[in-house]
Amino acid sequence: MLLKSAEAMDFEQLIQRFTTTRAKSEKLAAPLSEEDCLLQAMPDVSPTKWHLAHTSWFYEQFLLLPYWKKFRPFRPDYSFLFNSYYEGVGTRVERPKRGLLSRPSLSEVQLYRKFVTAAVQEFLSESPPPETLPIVELGIHHEEQHQELILTDIKFNLFCNPQRPAYSNIRSTPSASTAKLPTWISFAEGIHHIGCDSKDFAFDNERPRHRVFLESFEICNRGVTNEEYLEFIEARGYQRAELWLSDGWAAVQRNNWNAPLYWEHKGSEFSIFTLHGMQPLRPEEPVTHLSHYEADAYARFRGKRLPSEMEWETAITNAGVDLEDRGKFWEWTSSAYLPYPGFQPFENGLGEYNGKFMSNQMVLRGGSTATPHHSLRATYRNFFPPESRWQFTGMRLAI
């Protein structure tokens, strides 16, 4: 089902958010060359050009073609080129081959974006059916997710260049240490409510709200820092099989992991690749770009564990509790990505948005510095395979 949240939103506000979101995607791509926009250094990332096109295809496929009789697509073959994973709407280019799409050119994709943006604006100006407004709102949130991917994907793509070029030459200045001594926030056993029940926007996998029973637990007030994770490395954590899940240990051996992604030795010190290029590792900052396996192994090293997603949400929604570092990095949990009791996917082809991935994935909570601030709601559920680490993924410990 699609919620009616957009019906309660001011119509002019909806149009403004659509226009602003479309412009932001183009602004994020502006620092990149046409060659940068074609890069796909591994199957998990997509070229920036593809993100720009796919977020336009989404509106064509799910809004304009079904609901606007006079609409004609920009180019019919784009339906094949820029479909992501929607089996119900036709075939598509295989995900690992998106970087082979040298044509259409970036300039043609930019024309395509202008065409779709203008078409949606015109459609909205003609008193559209009320059931289409939630689709527009979903499209906005969908594009914002791809804006996050534009940043994380180009970071990985540029890292694969031996020159380590920066996405932005505006370097952040080192800040004073903000990491405080870890303290533990206690919660008694009991029944808690998890999930979204408001009329505001939420993805289908955040609903329905339901009850869970939790044993008593404690959660750390802040995330694990680079300095703390460095102690794990220096204690030969990547060489100690007893700390790792079986699949995790196999991943360490297969990938030759010995530090988080983007960490590099510079003399006797570590440096880290950022969107601003290589920078000295800041000990006080939260550690990021960890796989679930690394987060789990580190927790074992400390004699702790990762919180479940139910514990994490309970802590976030508890009045008076402030979990520091929230919104700086995606936080791995110990929870497999599964449907809530009574889960109902979005209607029609949009039902493939989240539900089909509820296998072999782990839940992350919170949000990162690349996530839009208004999306940092307590119920937001992200999910990735446990070996993934190109996102801004870190951890918070629990007992």
Q: What are phi and psi of 363, to 5 degrees?
A: -85, 140
Do 218 and 123 reside in the same domain of the chain? no
Do 118 and 232 reside in the same domain of the chain? no
Q: Whole-model pTM?
A: 0.95
Residue 172 belongs to some domain of the structure: no
Do 193 and 124 reside in the same domain of the chain? no
Residue 220 belongs to some domain of the structure: yes
Mean pLDDT of 313-327: 89
Do 32 and 136 reside in the same domain of the chain? yes
Give the sign of the dihedral formed by CA 102, CA 103, CA 106, CA 110: negative
At residue 266, the pLDDT reads 80
What's the CATH number where 144 sits? 1.20.120
Do 267 and 222 reside in the same domain of the chain? yes
% of the chain at pLDDT higher than 90: 91
At residue 176, the pLDDT reads 42
At residue 181, the pLDDT reads 87
Mean pLDDT of 241-268: 96
Average per-residue pLDDT for the chain: 94
Residue 259 belongs to some domain of the structure: yes
Q: How many domains does the chain have?
A: 2
At residue 5, the pLDDT reads 55
Residue 171 belongs to some domain of the structure: no
- Alpha-carbon span 120 to 146, nearest angstrom: 19
Do 48 and 104 reside in the same domain of the chain? yes
Do 102 and 194 reside in the same domain of the chain? no
At residue 8, the pLDDT reads 46
Residue 213 belongs to some domain of the structure: yes
Domain that holds residue 97: 5-159
- For residue 229, count other CB atoms closer than 10 A to its CB: 25
81 DSSP assignment: H
Q: What are phi and psi of 87, to 5 degrees?
A: -60, -30
3-state secondary structure 98-159: HHHCCCCCHHHHHHHHHHHHHHHHHHHHCCCCHHHHHHHHHHHHHHHHHHHHHHHHHHHHHH
Do 205 and 130 reside in the same domain of the chain? no
Do 205 and 350 reside in the same domain of the chain? yes
Do 142 and 190 reside in the same domain of the chain? no
What's the CATH number where 319 sits? 3.90.1580.10
Residue 178 belongs to some domain of the structure: no
Query: What confidence tens digit (pLDDT) does each residue in 204-218 have?
Result: 999 999 999 999 999
Among candidate residues 159, 176, 209, the one where a domain is terminated: 159
Residue 169 belongs to some domain of the structure: no
Query: What confidence tens digit (pLDDT) does each residue in 168-181 have?
Result: 976 554 444 456 78
Query: What confidence tens digit (pLDDT) does each residue in 349-397 have?
Result: 999 999 999 999 999 999 999 999 999 999 999 999 999 999 999 999 9
At residue 9, the pLDDT reads 57
Do 248 and 326 reside in the same domain of the chain? yes
What is the number of H-type helices and E-type strands within the chain?
11, 11
Do 240 and 377 reside in the same domain of the chain? yes
Residue 244 belongs to some domain of the structure: yes
